[in-house]
Structure 1
Amino acid sequence: MLAVFEKSVGNPPEGLSLPLKGRQQPSESKSGEEVVDIFQSWRADTTLYKVPNGSSMALSHEDECPLHPRSIVVVDDVFCIFVGMLENTCELRRHYGLSRQATESMVVVEAYKVLRDRAPYPPDQVVRGLKGKFAFVLFDAKSSTLFLARDRDGSVPFHWAMASDGSLICSDDPKIIAEACGKCYTPFPPGCIFMNRSGLISFDHPLNKVRAIAREDEEGNICAVIFQVDLYTRLPQHSAHR
């Protein structure tokens, strides 16, 4: 799977740009549009969705792991790519009033819509209710809201990066994202959610800062970052999801 969001929409966290700064040689990173072209050229069965503001979401079942199936759904201008499986799908269907045919991606869309429209609780509580091995990318085209999440064990491969034009890149395929961004990518942190309007938080520790830690290559250049929860630093009260 691949998701590419134009800079103003994706609003990538500042830490993702560290490998692009101060490099003595040109970055290997491609533009967002070039990344989409690479994915399509490598995956003959690609289903591509052009979403508003120059962004794209794409799905392929090539080399799909049976334990981590991929699915995509579009409901009321909400696009969702889901990778993995939920252990409590039946319970969640009943909770959200969905039919027995509702897939994991449909469940995630409904959970988001309830959060958006009616729920008095924060997004970390919504994701904590998802039991299983998963990662997902959700985009609400009406409000330009981006919502990413990965389970706390990091069971499903899920990477993100910043393209040369500032676009946010997300994929479960390390080969695609390495070709697109060179060394300028990193795993999406397990147990975390990202929303383009509020940033990156841990759903187990929503009041603590998730910090970007730079990694350097043999020449001392920053080649990537790792995001980790800082249990000693609390978020300002006004920005906490409470």
Structure 2
Amino acid sequence: MLAVFEKAIGNPPEELRLPSIGSEGKKNRAEILETFRSLLPESTLYSLSNGNFMALSREGSPVHPRSMVVLDDIFCIFLGTLDNMSELRRYYGLSRQATEAMVVVEAYKVLRDRAPYPPDQVIRDLQGKFAFFLFDAKTRTLFAARDREGRVEFNWGMAGDGSLVCSDDPKILQIACGNSCAPFPPGCMFMNGCGLTSFDHPLHKVRAIAQEDDDGRISEVFFQVDLLTRLPSIPRTGSATNWADTTFIQGEFKQI
């Protein structure tokens, strides 16, 4: 799968930009789409406004099935399986034919429209091996998450034009973003208006950790929950806020 959204919508964490090695070949949205089409011409593609798009390859994995659905202008790609599908179908009033992607859309609509549920409460109810990416075209909201153990491949990065790129294919992601990419952290979720948070530890900050090579250059970045840092009871929103109160010290970001 591949999802690419301009910076104004995707709002990727600025920390993804840090790796200074292998960043010369990063592409823009149009170039990423052209490359993806040439590599996987049989994929299902949804072209959205301003060159944004979502795509799903037909070359599915027998271990981790994949599905895509469009409901009420909400686009969702789901990778993997949910172990508690029967319970979730009943809870959301869905038929037995409802797929995992449909369940995620319904869960998102509850979060958006019908109740003041915190996002972590909605995702915590999903049990299984999964990763998903959702876009609400009406509200221009992005919503992505990965299971607690990270058992489904899911990565994200920043393209040459600052776009957010998400994919389960590390090779495609590296073509698009160079080294400005990282595994999406397990047990975490991302919303473009709220930034990256942990659904198991919602009151603890998710930090970017930078790795340096022998010459002191940042070669890669990954994200993990900092259980020693507790967020305020009403968290500030936006990745820019997260970036503003961190600084890079000896290979990792510290709160200031």
Report the TM-score range of the alignment, normalised by the length of the smaller protein: over 0.9
1:202 paired with 2:193, answer no
Using the alignment, how far apart are the partners of 1:182 and 1:26 within structure 2? Answer: 5
| Structure 1 residue 72: Cα displacement | 0.7
Instruction: Tell me which residue corresponds to 1:187.
Output: 183
Q: Which amino acid aligns with 2:63?
A: L
Alignment CA distance shift 1:38-1:25 (3 Å): closer
Q: Which amino acid aligns with 1:32?
A: R
Do the aligned residues in 2 keep the contact of 1:184 with 1:223 (CA within 8 Å)? Answer: no
1:171 paired with 2:167, answer yes
Q: Which amino acid aligns with 1:204?
A: D
Using the alignment, how far apart are the partners of 2:169 and 2:231 within structure 1? Answer: 32
Matches within 5 A, 1:103-122: 103-122=99-118
Q: Deviations over 1:54-84 (max 9, x none)?
A: 311001022x221211111000000000000
Instruction: Tell me which residue corresponds to 2:49.
Output: 52
4+ residue runs over 6 A deviation = none
Alignment CA distance shift 1:29-1:125 (3 Å): same
| Structure 1 residue 26: Cα displacement | 5.8
- Give the match's secondary structure for 2:201: coil
Q: Which amino acid aligns with 1:55?
A: N
Instruction: Tell me which residue corresponds to 2:4.
Output: 4
| Structure 1 residue 24: Cα displacement | 8.2
1:226 paired with 2:232, answer no
1:39 paired with 2:39, answer no
Do the aligned residues in 1 keep the contact of 2:68 with 2:76 (CA within 8 Å)? Answer: yes
Using the alignment, how far apart are the partners of 2:22 and 2:104 within structure 1? Answer: 42
Using the alignment, how far apart are the partners of 2:70 and 2:97 within structure 1? Answer: 15
| Structure 1 residue 52: Cα displacement | 3.0
Using the alignment, how far apart are the partners of 1:26 and 1:11 within structure 2? Answer: 19
Do the aligned residues in 1 keep the contact of 2:21 with 2:219 (CA within 8 Å)? Answer: no
Matches within 5 A, 1:53-92: 53-62=50-59, 64-92=60-88
Q: Deviations over 1:201-233 (max 9, x none)?
A: 000000000000112234332222110100111
Instruction: Normalising by structure 2, report the TM-score.
Output: 0.88
Using the alignment, how far apart are the partners of 1:25 and 1:51 within structure 2? Answer: 29
| Structure 1 residue 183: Cα displacement | 2.0
| Structure 1 residue 25: Cα displacement | 7.8
RMSD: 1.6
Candidates 21, 27, 44, aligned match of 1:30: 27
Instruction: Tell me which residue corresponds to 1:140.
Output: 136
Do the aligned residues in 1 keep the contact of 2:29 with 2:51 (CA within 8 Å)? Answer: no
Do the aligned residues in 2 keep the contact of 1:81 with 1:136 (CA within 8 Å)? Answer: yes
| Structure 1 residue 113: Cα displacement | 0.3
Q: Which amino acid aligns with 1:65?
A: S
Using the alignment, how far apart are the partners of 1:97 and 1:51 within structure 2? Answer: 30
Instruction: Normalising by structure 1, report the TM-score.
Output: 0.93
- Give the match's secondary structure for 2:215: coil
- Give the match's secondary structure for 2:18: helix
Q: Which moved more, 1:115-124 or 1:158-167?
A: 115-124
Using the alignment, how far apart are the partners of 2:22 and 2:149 within structure 1? Answer: 36
| Structure 1 residue 178: Cα displacement | 1.6
Alignment CA distance shift 1:36-1:162 (3 Å): same
Do the aligned residues in 2 keep the contact of 1:71 with 1:82 (CA within 8 Å)? Answer: yes
Do the aligned residues in 2 keep the contact of 1:135 with 1:149 (CA within 8 Å)? Answer: yes
The runs of 5 or more residues in structure 2 that have no matched partner are: 238-256
